[in-house]
């Protein structure tokens, strides 16, 4: 079975599987009216997924779950649970039960995202930066899908949530039904809690994780609130949702581009390039709120292209510098720590916006990629081990 066929299967499945992540963010304007939500409650509907993901990822990392079980078995379990929790959300009519269901959705999605990256890494050694770039691109499009569904005029918020659940379950079944272990897979690992300390002691892992933390400071807050931003730029909710879909989805092209750069030049250089551009547009985009529509949309598209372009390279570095038997644990550990940071910025963006403006709210995100770019510069100065800092053979 070819690499490209497996890449297509895993990426397509991940696009659909991630549809439940931002399902409430896509229909937030309807939920505000239906449930009389405050700004704080609206923030928590997204924050709960992040916290749930952290809880699920921490449990997985501490138990080496991602290395003791087949990634395909975990993906099936994760998509079943996430789809069920999101489907149940369509039947509730108030904030409190919705919050609990969003938390559960995040827990189960922690069994989908890291195992999918691990599964793809078993198929690629050469060209892994590109392959994982495609996978993160798939995650990006999947996260944007609810905004596309919501852009169809006349849909109630419930059908949007139901469609997102169906997509998530279909994606999981596609991956499990057609996905296979690659030639670089290793035997299931034994439970070994000491692996956490060994992973953290790895300098390249720490630098890659510092870059990832800076990236996460910015990414999910941007994704969570970009639709609300365009909701104030455009009078039509459908137009705002459609623009938000394209802004977020443009990151798929950015992820693939950065993956190609990383394979031809270096992982650290590709990630640093993306973070510098992303920081620039975090500083600019919000201040263009009252500018002509073509300018504010264009800035958003460029920001969306770069804001996630670096993400795959942090994961790629982890797969190349840690013990192959515990790659799943290392990936899950990095992701768990990074998602903790997203809670703060998702909460802070509307607070700063209400106190000042969208310009300053988005500008607050820029220090994250700036710190991450500095971490990548430091990593480039370290002795090369696996093409992190120098050109790889083509």
Q: What is the pLDDT of residue 179?
A: 85
Q: Containing domain of residue 62, as a range?
A: 3-178+191-380
> Is residue 393 situated within a structural domain?
no
As for how many domains the chain has, the answer is: 1
Q: Please give the pLDDT value at position 189.
A: 55
Burial status of residue 192 (CB atoms within 10 A of its CB: 0-12, 13-18, 19 or more): middle
Q: What is the pLDDT of residue 312?
A: 87
CATH number of 206's domain:
1.20.1250.20
252, part of any domain: yes
Per the domain annotation, does 385 fall within a domain?
Answer: no
Closest CA to 387 of 239, 236, 204: 204
The reply to whether 394 falls in a domain is no
> What pLDDT, on a 0 to 100 scale, did the predictor assign at position 277?
98
**Per the domain annotation, does 164 fall within a domain?**
yes
Note whether residue 306 is domain-resident.
yes
What pLDDT is recorded for position 394? 34
User: 242 Cβ partners below 8 Å, 6+ apart?
Assistant: 147, 148, 151
| Residue 284: per-residue pLDDT | 97
Residue 136 lies in a domain: yes
Distance CA 379, CA 274 (A): 15
Averages of pLDDT over runs of 10 residues in the chain (394 residues) are 85 89 82 88 88 88 78 93 95 93 95 85 81 87 82 77 93 91 64 73 90 95 93 90 95 95 91 97 95 96 96 87 79 85 91 95 97 92 57 42
Q: 208: alpha, beta or left, given left = phi > 0 and alpha = psi -120 to 50?
A: alpha
The answer to the question of residue 209 being in a domain is: yes
């Amino acid at each position: 079975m070819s690499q490209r066929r497996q890449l297509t299967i895993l990426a397509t499945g991940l696009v659909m599987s991630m549809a439940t992540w931002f399902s409430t963010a896509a229909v937030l304007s309807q939920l505000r009216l239906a449930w009389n939500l405050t700004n704080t409650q609206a923030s928590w509907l997204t924050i709960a997924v992040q916290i749930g993901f952290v809880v699920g990822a921490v449990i997985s990392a501490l138990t080496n779950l991602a290395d003791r079980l087949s990634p395909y078995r975990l993906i099936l379990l994760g998509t079943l649970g996430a789809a069920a929790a999101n489907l149940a959300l369509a039947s509730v009519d108030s904030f409190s039960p919705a919050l609990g269901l969003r938390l559960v959705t995040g827990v189960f999605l922690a069994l989908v995202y890291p195992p999918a990256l691990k599964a793809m890494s078993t198929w690629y050694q050469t060209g892994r930066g590109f392959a994982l770039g495609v996978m993160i691109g798939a995650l990006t499009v999947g996260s944007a899908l609810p905004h596309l569904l919501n852009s169809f005029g006349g849909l109630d918020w419930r059908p949007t949530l139901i469609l997102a659940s169906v997509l998530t379950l279909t994606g999981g079944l596609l991956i499990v039904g057609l996905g296979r272990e690659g030639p670089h897979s290793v035997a299931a690992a034994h439970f070994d809690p000491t692996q956490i300390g060994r992973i953290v002691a790895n300098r390249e892992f720490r630098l890659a994780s510092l870059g990832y933390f800076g990236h996460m400071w910015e990414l999910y807050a941007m994704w969570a609130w970009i639709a609300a931003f365009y909701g104030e730029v455009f009078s039509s909710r459908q137009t705002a949702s459609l623009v938000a879909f394209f802004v977020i989805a443009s990151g798929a092209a950015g992820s693939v581009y950065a993956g190609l750069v990383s394979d031809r030049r270096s992982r650290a250089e590709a990630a640093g390039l993306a973070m510098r551009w992303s920081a620039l547009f975090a500083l600019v985009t919000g201040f263009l709120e009252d500018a002509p529509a073509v300018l504010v949309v264009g800035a958003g598209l460029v920001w969306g292209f770069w804001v996630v372009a670096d993400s795959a390279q942090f994961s790629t570095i982890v797969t190349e510098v840690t013990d192959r038997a515990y790659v799943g644990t290392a990936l899950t550990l990095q992701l768990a720590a990074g998602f903790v940071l997203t809670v703060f910025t998702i909460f802070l963006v509307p607070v700063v916006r209400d106190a000042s403006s969208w310009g300053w709210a988005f500008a607050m995100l820029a220090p994250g990629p700036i710190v991450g770019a500095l971490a990548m510069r430091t990593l480039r100065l370290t002795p090369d081990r696996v093409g992190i800092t120098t050109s790889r053979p083509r």
